Amino acid sequence: MKTSAVLILSGTNIGRLYLSIMRAFRFGVPLLCIFFAQSLCVGFAQTTAPPPGDMIVAARLLTYVRPTYPATAKEGSFHSLNFAAKLGTDGKLHNLTPLGAPDDFQQAAIDAASQWVYVPYSLDGQPIEMNVVISVTFSSQEHRPGLDKPLRVSDSMMARLVDKQPQPTYPQTDAKGSVVLSAIIGKDGRIGSLQVVSGPAPLQSPSLDAARQWIYKPYLFDGVPVEIQTTITFNFSR
């Protein structure tokens, strides 16, 4: 039976486009349509998630440059800033966009992060661009290469980093209310594990099914991809 496929791609991820075309021709699948959608918001572009069978390998930090305290700040005081960025196939961070109000530390953080060098994210062995969120920390402590446990990040912050968030289907029940889930998000931005914190029993299963499909921008803590612990809440009402 002859098979055809329509691919709709968003953003400018050339690596994924190339792999998609190669797979399509390898299996004899004619491409009927390829459509490019240009994002309107730098650093917050919706990205096309790879098929479930594809394997994304997290980036690895090679060169870390510690941020220099600005002249107006007290040396040794703790301060942390978050930025949206694109980690390119060249291993560099591009389009660093602050996720907070401007302050005296901002330019110093950008100057440092712009010098970080990575082995980039890869998909099936090929380097790809990836929209990420990075934290840059000013601290008197020595830089640690990653964390030994998931980093706790608020649900309000993580809500700004979601690339894909399908909503649950309302089951045949009179139950209503909110379902709160505890989630571990992997270094590739995908859901690693989920646990129900609270919520009506009939609404828990559809909430879990939907949340398992969520995809976030990977979070880089001081440049190192880390796992995130957060919560996801679904509100059901008739």
Residue 76 and residue 119 in contact, taking contact as beta carbons nearer than 8 Å: no
- Indicate whether 91 belongs to any domain: yes
Q: What is residue 2's predicted lDDT score, i.e. its pLDDT?
A: 34
User: Picking from 35-49, 117-131, 208-222, which range would have the lowest pLDDT averaged per residue?
Assistant: 35-49
Contacts for 11 with CB less than 8 Å, ≥ 6 apart = 37, 39, 45, 46, 47, 48
Sign of CA dihedral 152, 154, 160, 165: positive
Of the candidates 148, 163, 188, which is a domain's last residue?
148
Query: Whole-prediction pTM value?
Result: 0.55
> How do residues 99-111 score in pLDDT, each as one tens digit?
887 788 999 999 9
Total domain count for the chain? 2
Cβ(183)–Cβ(230) below 8 Å: yes
The whole domain housing 180 covers 155-236
Kindly state whether residue 70 falls inside one of the protein's structural domains: yes
What's the confidence (pLDDT) of residue 33? 33
CB 96 within 8 A of CB 83: yes
How confident is the model at residue 37, as a pLDDT? 29
Confidence of residue 229 (pLDDT cuts 50, 70, 90): very high
Q: Assess whether pLDDT exceeds 80 at residue 131.
A: yes
Query: What does the pLDDT look like over 13-71, one tens digit per residue?
Result: 434 434 443 444 343 433 323 222 222 222 333 333 455 446 788 888 888 888 888 88
Lowest mean pLDDT among 83-87, 174-178, 222-226: 222-226
List the structure tokens of 168.
Answer: 């649950």
* pLDDT tens digits, 152-207: 888 888 888 898 999 999 999 999 999 999 999 998 899 999 999 999 999 999 99
pLDDT score of 49: 46
Clarify whether residues 66 and 125 are in a common domain.
Answer: yes
In a domain, 15, yes or no: no
Evaluate whether residue 143 is within a structural domain: yes
CA 67/CA 110 separation, integer angstroms: 8
- The stretch 120-136 carries a mean pLDDT of 90
